[in-house]
Structure 1
């Protein structure tokens, strides 16, 4: 039996990349996983299929975040499949890249709506469904503490806000035995980064050189950290910001 057998998990943005890696890891270890997606239903179904092929159980939830009523719609869909939650992973997010003087208000508002507002209200409305002793893991970014890409300033600001959310929420949910933590990945080999990571050996070598471990991260690297925090072994860790950059902040 897996360490999460009998538990239900929700992973937002789980149709691809880091979110898919987390969903598959939790499913492989016994959790029943709600695989959230925004637009790519086919990719979400692939995640579900991978979990089921490994002997796990999963279902999809399709709600586009960053719109009024998104949290309500997400939980309405969740309630059709499950009657409670043990693990919530706020992974869904969008990026933006523009020089300081060029980002416009519409883009700025959009990235904050998806990366900050959505996880806040998803968690707020999900708290009544989250069982005592549960887990909340927020996926941030090493860029929240490392100013190496100023063109991603707005994105980094959203992740810094998520880090504050983690610290304060840990105090709110702590009396119920619910832990709340942040995991901050560095450069990870996903389709979001595919264009430049796979542009050539020089680009990949440059990305790998940023890490103390000399390689680019994988979704599995991040998923393993999340799985620890979501497990009983992580019961005494809360309100923490966990560096999962492979040492790129050092």
Structure 2
């Protein structure tokens, strides 16, 4: 199996609804996985063979946050959800980054690192998957007992790509990224964003979304061998009336 396929499989394992490739998490991640509210429903998702990004509760500029520290590393902090797409209107989230690695960009698989990502996983009609996708998903399911999400949408902060750029992953077309922050503008300060999830999904995938089945935070520097520090504030899933849905991250 070549490096590209290994990297893809690792990511699919981490994105999977129940994927966890070790029976006992390393101490730094185990501490996060057992945290009380507001992270009680969240757990760490390491990628096999990769160093681990460290996630912890912290304060940044007077605000509570999930602090992510990557040192040539990648892993996710995620939770399972079950929200019908008809209930889901917008997602509102806040994040803060210390800086960007100039060589990192999600537009190229060899430099696919980002200081901050919000990752949403969706269910869908698996009969529509290509043969390549089915083989990838079946392999991940064989290893974990769970199928990865039918579609994964990432909101990312990129070092170089323009805001609103849509990137189809070179390793799997079931993973697509929308750039919502770019370059060093805004670093060192809290940034607040709101996105229309259904509109973004349709723009990225060309179809309506299915149920929202997972949400994750991801800060990485493994591909560029770099360090990244980010803080994630509340991530609020809103219905069309603006009411916050269960499963939101409220800090």
TM more than 0.5: no
The TM tier, using the shorter chain, reads under 0.3
Query: Which structure's relative contact order is higher, taking Cα pairs within 8 Å and 6+ residues apart?
Result: 2
Higher strand share: 2
Task: Looking at secondary structure, tell me which structure has more helix per residue.
Answer: 1
TM-score of the two chains, using structure 1 as the length reference: 0.26
- What TM-score comes out, normalization by structure 2 length? 0.26
